[in-house]
């Protein structure tokens, strides 16, 4: 897996990917997969962006994307998120920030 994908980056660096948002916040990213499948039997997976305090010592909130990937199992849905390019993940963060203006 390329280090320019979310999963490849996390595997190579052994940590969550982090991004600076257009709102000035620092964010790390995690996966969120629904516990139950939808009516079609697919598990939905989203990205969860944890916003960190200015000092980076504690989380101060989070943003979530709409589902970005689906799979027949939670593991497959997560693998599909891992395949997202870092550019797509950054774009998803910016979209989440735009949907929650002034939240901070």
Q: Where are the beta strands (DSSP E) in the chain?
A: 18-20, 26-33, 43-52, 59-64, 69-71
Instruction: Name the domain count of the chain.
Output: 1
Task: Establish if 29 belongs to a structural domain.
Answer: yes
Would you say residue 65 has pLDDT above 60?
A: yes
Task: Establish if 1 belongs to a structural domain.
Answer: no
Q: Which residues pair with 46 in a beta bridge?
A: 32
Domain of residue 93 covers 6-99
Q: What is the spatial distance between Cα 25 and Cα 12, in angstroms, rounded to a whole number?
A: 24
Q: What is the spatial distance between Cα 11 and Cα 83, in angstroms, rounded to a whole number?
A: 12
Residue-wise pLDDT tens digits, 28-63: 999 999 999 999 999 999 999 999 999 999 999 999
Q: What is the pTM of this model?
A: 0.90
């Amino acid at each position: 897996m390329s280090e320019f994908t979310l999963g490849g980056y996390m595997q190579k660096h052994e940590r969550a990917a982090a991004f600076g948002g257009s709102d000035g916040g620092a964010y790390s990213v995690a996966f969120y997969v629904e516990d139950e499948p939808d009516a079609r039997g697919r598990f939905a997976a989203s990205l969860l962006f944890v916003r960190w305090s200015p000092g980076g010592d504690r989380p101060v909130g989070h943003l979530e994307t709409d589902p970005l990937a689906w799979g027949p199992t939670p593991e497959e849905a997560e693998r599909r998120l891992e395949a997202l390019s870092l550019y797509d993940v950054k774009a998803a963060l910016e979209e989440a920030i735009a949907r929650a203006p002034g939240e901070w």
